[in-house]
Structures are given as structure tokens and as C-alpha cells.
Amino acid sequence: MKKLAIPALLSLILAACSSTGPTDTAAQVEDRSSGTGVATVTADSAAGSGIAALTDPNNILSKRSVFFDFDSYVIQPEAKPLIEAHARFLVQNPQMKMLIQGNTDERGSREYNLALGQKRADVVKQALLLLGAREAQIESVSLGEEKPRCDAPTEACFAENRRGDMLYSGEF
């Protein structure tokens, strides 16, 4: 079932992003600070080490984690806008590089968690590639359970640790 879900989800993402009309040279990102409008990220704003859009808490690009269900590496529908925004950013900024770190909660053996973390990182990478990012821009690695965000033995805490983190050049 899981083997069929990933290709189906990736096909759905790819189909939703296909376009027959002209494309802009700047990625359009929803500006959530005012409730309306669109913030524009351009290649010019990506110059230098302080990339404003990536650190602006009101910009979707500042969100860097894709969360997963227990024992799963299927991208959830609510992560689609986040992945699409980062893919557009990578397409428009070919000089940028990204590292995706796959993480798991503490349950499971070390070997199992490393394998699951890699699958999570790889599925995020695959989605970005299907949306136009280049292979040379993205690297995926597994951290397994080694970089928890939360240490409490609760389900809410475990959920915070089941993620794929997207880091850009200069952040890793």
C-alpha cells in the first residue's frame, strides 16, 4: 500500500503544478502577515548570506519541516504548499543548495530509524525534483533519532521528531 501511495502522491503534486500559461520570474508566496497579498522572492534577494525570505517568519519559506505520521514516509497533503514554495525557490535560485535531514522519534532500533529517516529525506527530495529543482541542488541524509526537537516521552513530542528538515547553504 505504501509503495503505491508515494508514486500516486508525487503524480498528484506534479499534475497540480503543471502549467500551460506563461511563468513569472519570481516565486509567488502567500503573505500571511496581512491576510491578503503575495510576497515576491526574487533571485536578487537571494544574493549574499542573509536571504530575507528564508528567515522572514511571515514567509512560508521560513517553514522548513515536513512532518510524517508514525512509521511512515508518506508526505501529507498539508505539506504540499510548503514543498511547492521551496521547489519554486530552488528553481528560481539555481545557485542555492539544500540539505534535507530525515528524522525519527526514539521508538525503533537505531538501524530502523536511520533507514526510515533516509526514506523521509528521500521522499521530500523526490517531490522537490518533480517540481523542477535540480538534482545537484539537493542532498538527503538521515539523522535517525539523533536530533530530537523534543525529549518528553509523549505522543505530541514524538510527532515533533518525525520530520524532514530542509536546510539551505550556510545553515548546515
Q: How confident is the model at residue 6 (pLDDT cuts 50, 70, 90)?
A: low
Identify whether 45 is part of a domain. no
Residue 3, class by beta-carbon neighbours within 10 Å (0-12 exposed, 13-18 middle, 19+ buried)? exposed
Q: Tell me the pLDDT tens digit for each residue of 18-68.
A: 444 434 433 344 443 433 333 334 433 333 333 788 999 999 999 999 999
CB 78 within 8 A of CB 72: no
Identify whether 88 is part of a domain. yes
Spatial neighbors of 64 by CB under 8 A, at least 6 apart, are 165, 166, 167
Cα 148 from Cα 113, distance rounded (Å): 12
pTM (2 d.p.) = 0.71
Identify whether 43 is part of a domain. no
Give the domain extent around 136: 2-20+63-168
Question: What's the confidence (pLDDT) of residue 17?
Answer: 46
Question: What's the confidence (pLDDT) of residue 8?
Answer: 53
Question: What's the confidence (pLDDT) of residue 52?
Answer: 84
Identify whether 72 is part of a domain. yes
Identify whether 50 is part of a domain. no
Identify whether 132 is part of a domain. yes
Region 137-163: what's the mean pLDDT?
97
Identify whether 39 is part of a domain. no
Spatial neighbors of 24 by CB under 8 A, at least 6 apart, are none
| Beta-bridge partners for 102 | 142, 164
C-alpha cell at 63: 517553514
DSSP string of 79-123, one letter each residue? GHHHHHHHHHHHHH-TT--EEEEEE--S-S-HHHHHHHHHHHHHH
CATH of the domain at 124: 3.30.1330.60
Q: What is the mean pLDDT of the chain?
A: 81
| Neighbour-count burial for 10-19, b at 16+ CB within 10 Å, e otherwise | beebeeeeee
Identify whether 102 is part of a domain. yes
Number of separate domains in the chain: 1
pLDDT exceeds cutoff 60 at 3: no
Residues 161, 128, 48, CA angle at the centre, nearest 5°? 90
pLDDT exceeds cutoff 80 at 143: yes
Spatial neighbors of 83 by CB under 8 A, at least 6 apart, are 13, 66, 75, 124, 127, 128, 131
Residue matched to cell numbers 528567515: 55
Q: Tell me the pLDDT tens digit for each residue of 105-130.
A: 999 999 999 999 999 999 999 999 99
Cα 102 from Cα 67, distance rounded (Å): 10
